[in-house]
Amino acid sequence: MSDEIAVNRAWWDERAALHGRDGFFYDVDAFLSGELPMTRREVSQLEAAVGELTRVELLHLQCHIGLDTLSLARLEAKVTGIDFSPVAIDRATALAETAGLKAEFIVADARLQQRGGIANVSRSAADVSAESSASYVEVGFIASSNGSGRRATPSARG
């Protein structure tokens, strides 16, 4: 792993340990009480891009501590969140358990091979080693209802 990637991962590991506990970002208590951190507009944009959430599997890139991923699980989507920060994935997994929501979280590289403008996503791509991780440029979702992937980026939120 390059020094640049190691520094970036350490920075995000530190943030993941604080977010939701620092009073500035991510209202974990509100989420656990039933609120969705995603806005209705974000959910509507995602549904417009991929269809009914209960009928798709979503791969959430850069899921961080998992609140948006878990929001989609709460809306009955089948979700997997990936992030290159093991600390973020540990937090996301713990939040899923606390909230009683079903979601899978994987430490993985969000850089995906592109074919014809559509991301080629498979289970093996989501399972890549954390050692090949990099900093990410965009937050997005990959949806599949029949094995084909469609990319949806509902917002520029980080």
DSSP E strands, the chain:
57-61, 78-83, 104-107, 114-115, 118-119, 140-144, 150-152
The pTM score is 0.72
How far apart, in whole angstroms, are the C-alpha atoms of residue 119 and residue 31? 30
CA pair distance 141, 80, nearest whole angstrom: 10
Q: What integer is the mean pLDDT of 134-145? A: 42
pLDDT digits (tens, 9 = 90+) for 11-60: 999 999 999 887 677 899 999 999 998 888 988 888 888 888 888 888 88
Spatial CB neighbours of 42, under 8 Å, sequence gap ≥ 6: 154, 155, 157
The full set of domains in the chain, from first to last, is 3-152 (3.40.50)
